[in-house]
Amino acid sequence: MKLLHLLLMISGTMVATACGPAERPVAAGAPHADAVLVRAATAALPSQFEAGGVLRARLTSAIASRVLAPITEIRVRPGDRVRRGQVVVVLEGRELQAQAERAAASLVAARQAVRASESDAEGAEAARTLAAATHERMSALHAKRSATPQELDEAVAALRAATARVAGARAHAAGAAASVTAAEAAANGAAIAASYSTLTAPFDGLITGRATDPGTMAAPGVPLLTLEDTAAFRLEVRLDESRAGQIAVGHAARVVFDDATAGKWTEGRVAEVSRIDPGGHGFVVKIDVPPSTGLQSGVFGRAQFASAPRQALAVPASALVRRGQMTFVFAVDGEGLARLRPISVGQTSGDLVEILAGVQDGEEVVANPPASLVDGTSIRGARAAQPPSGAGDRR
């Protein structure tokens, strides 16, 4: 029979009498049994929706070269674990090393030039001191008319020339000092460039991809290896605009990975909601998942999000009868007979199970049916039971 998939729920109420067992007609010749009955009814249940996605490492690095150079050695393969700072790729670095040595030599020459300019400045300062003393003597002699004006003019000119040489020597020394600073920067830059010939792991993790082999020319920015931090993962799912509007960073979400966690739901938390395409209406929701040794990047998973409560029809889970891949309940008909009826179930919430089809609102079903109960059994002496405790936590 075709089942109607309706979204409904129950607040279980029992068939009860104030003075004792409820009397039911007993069909002639039919087996009979005592049972507790519950009545299906609608109630508010927490609503939810699911979305599938792919598990990604929270931190992923594409290891690439900064320079154009041949690859001489690759020391890791996919599946290898590496530590931070471990050398994973070696490039041809002789040219870079030669540039570093040349820069270091230029730095030595610049420092020697500083020493020479300092010596020149000292010599110029000594000459200026001598010229100043000579000028002072000539001035005194000229005042006593013991020196001619020509001799005084020569002393003045010599003093000015010595002063100019001192200024020049000092400027040359400052230029030499600046040259040293430039040479140090060049040497540092060359040393840094030489270090580009070895690529290291930026953090502890797992090598998950290798895109080249030794002998290949490494180009700047082209990934050679992929490294993932396996300490933390995120499930990335795609939602349309209407559903993404119900999700915000920090919201709880349940996740499951069939292969990694054997179908067990675990609690996660939304870490990021971002638009896939500025011109589209899709969003990517990233969910932080609890650490687990069975998780690995690329695994398919499902996320379950809570939404506004809804009205649904349900019965206690104790009323369900599982036989193979099908689910049944014993529904009591108008003659008081238990009829084994196939049903379609939906969400489980606490002690209640949503009924999508197979049972009508208000119908009575047998709670906790014994294994001996068969179709057509006459139900008698049904006693009232406490109604089920509403919608509990999802599971």
- Please state the rounded mean pLDDT for residues 371-379: 82
Output the furthest CA–CA distance in the chain (Å, rounded).
Answer: 162
Q: How confident is the model at residue 131 (pLDDT cuts 50, 70, 90)?
A: confident
Q: What letter does residue 319 receive in the DSSP assignment?
A: G
pLDDT of the residue at 1 = 33
Strand partners, 54: 236, 300
Range scoring the smallest mean pLDDT among 56-60, 219-223, 229-233, 256-260: 256-260
pLDDT of the residue at 263 = 66
Distance separating alpha carbons of residues 239 and 237, to the nearest angstrom:
7
Phi-psi region for residue 381, left (φ > 0), alpha (ψ -120 to 50) or beta?
left
For tokens 């020479």, name the residue: 116
Higher pLDDT, residue 280 or 88: 88
Task: Round to the nearest angstrom and report the end-to-end CA distance of the chain.
Answer: 29
Which tokens is 170 given? 């000092």
pLDDT of the residue at 290 = 84
pLDDT of the residue at 49 = 80
Which of 392, 331, 323, 317 is closest to 361 using CA atoms? 331
Which of 387, 377, 368, 385 is closest to 329 using CA atoms? 368
pLDDT tens for each residue of 177-228: 888 888 888 889 888 888 889 999 999 999 999 999 999 999 999 999 999 9
pLDDT of the residue at 82 = 95
How deeply is 331 buried, as exposed, middle or buried, from its count of CB atoms within 10 A (0-12, 13-18, 19+)? buried
Q: What letter does residue 165 receive in the DSSP assignment?
A: H
Which of 210, 213, 395, 238 is closest to 303 using CA atoms? 238
pLDDT beyond 60 at 42: yes
Residue 395's CB: how many other CB atoms inside 10 A? 9
- Please state the rounded mean pLDDT for residues 166-178: 86
Instruction: Give the predicted TM-score (pTM) of the model.
Output: 0.56
Helix ranges, 90-148 (H) = 94-143
pLDDT tens for each residue of 111-125: 888 888 888 888 888
Residue 208: which residues within 8 A CB-CB, separation 6 or more? 57, 78, 79, 226, 227, 228, 297
**Angle (CA) 353 355 358, round 5°:** 140
pLDDT beyond 60 at 138: yes
Q: How confident is the model at residue 21 (pLDDT cuts 50, 70, 90)?
A: very low
Question: With helix as H, strand as E and coil as C, how does 33-59 read?
Answer: EEEEEEECEEEEEEEEEEEEEEEEECC
Phi and psi at 34, nearest 5°, equal -85, 145
Strand partners, 357: 344
**Angle (CA) 279 283 285, round 5°:** 160
The pairs formed by 90-93 with CB atoms below 8 angstroms and a separation of 24 or more are 90/197, 90/198, 90/199, 91/65, 91/67, 91/196, 91/197, 91/198, 91/199, 91/218, 92/197, 93/69, 93/194, 93/196, 93/197, 93/198
pLDDT tens for each residue of 297-346: 888 888 888 777 778 888 888 888 888 889 898 888 888 888 888 988 88
HSE toward the beta carbon, residue 281, CA cutoff 13 A: 5
- Domain spans in the chain, listed from the N-terminal domain onward: 1-58+232-395, 62-88+197-228, 94-195
Whether CATH 2.40.30.170 fits 1-58+232-395: yes
Q: What is the mean pLDDT of the chain?
A: 80
Higher pLDDT, residue 217 or 390: 217
Phi-psi region for residue 350, left (φ > 0), alpha (ψ -120 to 50) or beta?
left
Strand partners, 319: none
Distance separating alpha carbons of residues 136 and 327, to the nearest angstrom:
122
pLDDT tens for each residue of 253-296: 888 887 655 668 888 899 888 877 666 678 889 999 888 767 88
Q: What letter does residue 317 receive in the DSSP assignment?
A: G
pLDDT beyond 50 at 30: yes
Whether CATH 2.40.50.100 fits 62-88+197-228: yes
Share of the chain above pLDDT 70, in %: 86
pLDDT of the residue at 135 = 85
Range scoring the smallest mean pLDDT among 2-16, 41-55, 81-95: 2-16
Distance separating alpha carbons of residues 324 and 344, to the nearest angstrom:
14
pLDDT of the residue at 3 = 33
pLDDT of the residue at 262 = 60
For tokens 């049916």, name the residue: 369
Strand partners, 223: 64
Residue 230's CB: how many other CB atoms inside 10 A? 19
